[in-house]
Amino acid sequence: MKLFLVALILASFSYSITNPDNDNDSGDDYTPSWYSFDWLASDGYSGLENPRSIMRVSFEIGGIGSSRGFQLCLDVRENYIYESFFDDLLWRKPGFEDNVISLQGAGRTRRRVLEEAGLTIRGDTLGHADFNVIEGFNEPENVEVSGFIGYDFFRATRKIVAIDHKSSQVAFMDKLPEKWKEKAHLIDMGSSPSFLSLRVRANRSRISLSFDGEPTPALILYRRWDFQRLALNESVEDSLKYSFPRSDEHMMLGGYKPQRDLYFGPYKLKSHNVYRMPEKDHRIGGEDGLISQAFFEDYILILDYRRGNFGIVPPSVLDN
């Protein structure tokens, strides 16, 4: 009997090590560390001027920070740094030259990759990542960030990313606080938010939408029936510039004021203008349209790469 108990204890101990989701993940009394970020305005992605477009976070690479910070991207998979910061990084930390490899690109072009660089924030280590170098001739004038951190990094490190839009702060967690779980509305995300399918409610009707990681304040619908249900017959001044993926082409979409509130689970979403993109011209995925990150700005957005969940929780969970 004693031998059986010993074997059972050893088996349980082994399981708790090999299966990190076997919760030591309890969020009891867990308080996440929050890091502030700046909102930068942009019209580069959509043609709509958006004051809350770019989340600029003070990440450090190999312990080296940048006065321009880095953009946190929910719609970009890989990590990138501009050559201007890359040169500064090698000058301030020459040993990094050993981590740089050159890879064959399209045709005769080659690209450089900084491998296994430590990513930290305010001295806290988040993990290690590879960074593609954007060559100087592709670097825009008056660039406002030194690079981009894509979602693959958080997927590889199995982090939970929480974005508090209203307070302009972000947290990178290994577990979800227990009281968040009670109020959060979570759905299955899979391995990434790319083309995540969301079911939202407009009054009594439901519609399936793909999540657009860009913060463009616009709802794009494909079907005329959905558009007529959700939009007023009252056009807005702004038009939406929609660039086709993997193409230099784009189309301009006319916008209309919304006529119905949208709900994600029990929570009412922020209201933005509605745009229609004819289905025959372009369609992404199998859903009925695209809903962007901007609709979730009244909540804390949760991207759980540890368990593959996406959701929101009201900011009241931060109240003591």
The whole-angstrom distance between residue 38's C-alpha and the CA centroid of its chain comes to 15
CATH number given to 180-318 = 2.40.70.10
63/157 Cα distance (integer angstroms): 18
Question: For residue 34, what is the enclosing H or E element?
Answer: strand 34-42
Q: What is the pLDDT of residues 163-190, one digit of tens each?
A: 999 999 999 999 999 999 999 999 998 7
Is the pTM of the predicted complex or chain greater than 0.75?
yes
The domain segmentation of the chain, as residue ranges, is 34-157, 180-318
Contact 84, 115 (CB under 8 A): no
- What is the pLDDT, as a whole number, of residue 11? 38
State which residues of the chain have pLDDT below 70. 1-28, 43-47, 104-108, 191-195, 245-246, 279-285, 320
Question: For residue 85, what is the enclosing H or E element?
Answer: helix 83-92
**Which tokens in the block code for residue 301?**
């957005």
Contact 289, 220 (CB under 8 A): yes
- What is the pLDDT, as a whole number, of residue 245? 64
Cβ count within 10 A of residue 267? 17
Q: What is the pLDDT of residues 83-119, one digit of tens each?
A: 999 999 999 988 888 999 887 666 667 789 999 999 9
Fold of 34-157: Cathepsin D, subunit A; domain 1 (2.40.70)
The whole-angstrom distance between residue 84's C-alpha and the CA centroid of its chain comes to 25
Contact 146, 85 (CB under 8 A): yes
Tokens 């690079």 belong to residue: 147
- What is the pLDDT, as a whole number, of residue 279? 65
Longest dimension (CA), the chain: 78
- What is the pLDDT, as a whole number, of residue 195? 66
- What is the pLDDT, as a whole number, of residue 117? 93
- What is the pLDDT, as a whole number, of residue 7? 38
- What is the pLDDT, as a whole number, of residue 138? 87
